[in-house]
Amino acid sequence: MGRSVPNKDRTSGSPNLNDQERKVNIAYRFVGGPEWAKGAKVVDDIADATMNLFVPGKFLFDLISKKEEPLPNPNYHWCVQVGSFYHQLQASGKPLKNWYENDRFDKQGGSWETFEVGTTRYNDAAINSAGIQAIDSMPEDYDFWSNNCQTFTIRLADMICRNGRKKVYTSWSRWTLTAGFIPGMESADQASDQKQELEVSYVENGAKHFAMLENIEEILQQNTPEVTANQFVNEGKEGDKTDEAS
């Protein structure tokens, strides 16, 4: 895929866009506090991002405004949940790199808080394909303000909550079909002898779909406390002091 960290898929079978309709939830869980921040090196990463003018491979910061600019608290992690699986953005490395992962929802027990936002006819394998497309459409470098698990959650819900179906005549490369991507856009590697009729999904009611996305954004905002980068860094430092004292 050309990304630094490989995606992880635990679904099985072939993608199907016209499966039985299921509820789509977005869900969050609290992943940490100071201990999580230190273990994931998030404190160091925020410190790099806010206290240095330039972090190679990431972005240029305004020192004065950015370190006091509120960001969604990274301790609150969001995903999309359909049926037995959740689908999420993960970030690892330094600087943090985005990648996609799914896993069985029941592994997390009751730790997730869920909100129903729509329906989909994508099966699990198709949602995996959409998850890969969603992560590939985002910059690879994680951004605490604007390129994070919330961004991915909105993007994936936007892609799979499209219950209109129509036939299109399109061409796809053998590699793309083998990779299990969802038909709907022309491949860059086209060949006339590969043209075929395929079923794709689309938004039937634009106003209703837009209202769904607005509702998702509102849920994310209402259930994710804001914190400044300085506050989050200081929280991690307080955790270090507690460890030293003990």
Q: What is the residue extent of each domain of the chain?
A: 1-161+205-227, 164-203
Average pLDDT, the chain: 76
pLDDT tier at 39, thresholds 50, 70, 90:
very low
The yes-or-no verdict on residue 180 having pLDDT over 70 is no
Give the per-residue pLDDT at 152.
Answer: 97
219 burial via Cβ count (<10 Å: 0-12, 13-18, 19+): middle
Name which of 182, 183, 127 is nearest 155 in CA terms. Answer: 127
pLDDT per residue as tens digits for the range 187-241 = 445 555 556 666 778 888 999 999 999 999 999 999 998 887 667 666 655 544 4
Do residues 113 and 30 lie in contact, with contact meaning Cβ atoms separated by under 8 Å?
no
Q: Please answer whether residues 67 and 114 qualify as being in contact, where contact means their C-beta atoms are separated by less than 8 angstroms.
A: no
Nearest to 157 by CA among 188, 131, 185: 131
State residue 75's pLDDT score: 84
Position 106 scores a pLDDT of 81
Note the pLDDT of residue 229: 67
Task: Count other Cβ atoms within 10 Å, centred on residue 124.
Answer: 21
What pLDDT score does 124 carry? 95
In the prediction, which pLDDT does 51 show? Answer: 44
> For residue range 40-84, what is the model confidence (pLDDT) as tens digits?
455 455 555 544 433 443 433 433 345 567 778 888 999 999 999
Q: What is the pLDDT of residues 107-151, one digit of tens each?
A: 765 588 999 999 999 999 999 999 998 999 999 998 888 889 999
Q: What is the pTM of this model?
A: 0.76
Residue 140 contacts residue 97 (beta carbons within 8 Å): yes
Task: Give the pLDDT band (50/70/90) at residue 166.
Answer: confident
Confidence of residue 6 (pLDDT cuts 50, 70, 90): confident
